[in-house]
Amino acid sequence: AAGVIQSPRHLIKEKRETATLKCYPIPRHDTVYWYQQGPGQDPQFLISFYEKMQSDKGSIPDRFSAQQFSDYHSELNMSSLELGDSALYFCASSLNRDRTYEQYFGPGTRLTVT
Amino acid sequence: AQKITQTQPGMFVQEKEAVTLDCTYDTSDPSYGLFWYKQPSSGEMIFLIYQGSYDQQNATEGRYSLNFQKARKSANLVISASQLGDSAMYFCAMRVSTSYGKLTFGQGTILTVHP
């Protein structure tokens, strides 16, 4: 079965650079979520999109922005990167229209800021 | 606001034995869902099992079962017949009906299975 695809899998950036993470949800899924997991921590919700509209927002820094495109893929844009942004970034998708809400996670993008 | 608490930072179990990972939750929303995820050292998040707040029976998925005690607000994961490949971090998570599906995670429990 098709799974959530994230690219790139690994990314190394320097401070003050920008990064773009991409997410391709499971086909037919209508909702995408972004989570940030720092080293040794639990995942923290950043932002979500339902049918290409932002549906919820968590503790996402103003330096970050995200959107969902017409083909349902999503991108997380991160600017002025800081050392503390080093983390594993997960994208997850679900089919909320059917009210199942089960979320399936992608493999994650490991971002290292040096 | 909702909160998930996992009080066991680490657990050890002998291969082929059963183990219970604890999870308690707090929410004022009457409609919610509880999830367990497994995160191996490679980092991916693997969905294990789901329990809805209105489900009458405890969820089961193969060797995984969820001991759901609504009055106690607990949703413990039971893994039967542990295998070496079960060694991983386990997260309990919750979503409430008013949250558009976002998950709130607990701190996680590291499970180590000994041969």
pLDDT digits (tens, 9 = 90+) for A33-61: 999 999 999 999 999 999 889 999 998 99
Q: Out of B43, B95, B105, whose CB is closest to A101?
A: B95
Q: Using CA atoms, how far apart are residues B87 and A53, in angstroms rounded to an integer?
A: 38
| Predicted local distance difference test score (pLDDT) of residue A44 | 95
Residue B65: other Cβ atoms inside 10 A? 19
Q: What is the mean pLDDT of residues B84-104?
A: 90
Mean pLDDT value across residues B72-93: 97
Rounded to the nearest 5°, which phi and psi values hold at A46?
-105, -55
Q: What are phi and psi of B95, to 5 degrees?
A: -130, 145
pLDDT exceeds cutoff 90 at B18: yes
Please report which confidence band the pLDDT of residue B101 belongs to, taking 50, 70 and 90 as the band edges.
Answer: confident
Q: What percent of chain B has pLDDT over 70?
A: 99
- A42 vs B contacts (CB less than 8 Å): 91, 105-108
Residue B91 has pLDDT above 80, yes or no: yes
Residue type at position B17: E
Nearest to A42 among B47, B102, B106 (CB): B106
Q: What is the pLDDT of residue A49?
A: 94
Contact A13, A72 (CB under 8 A): no
Instruction: Tell me the sheet residues that pair with B3.
Output: B26
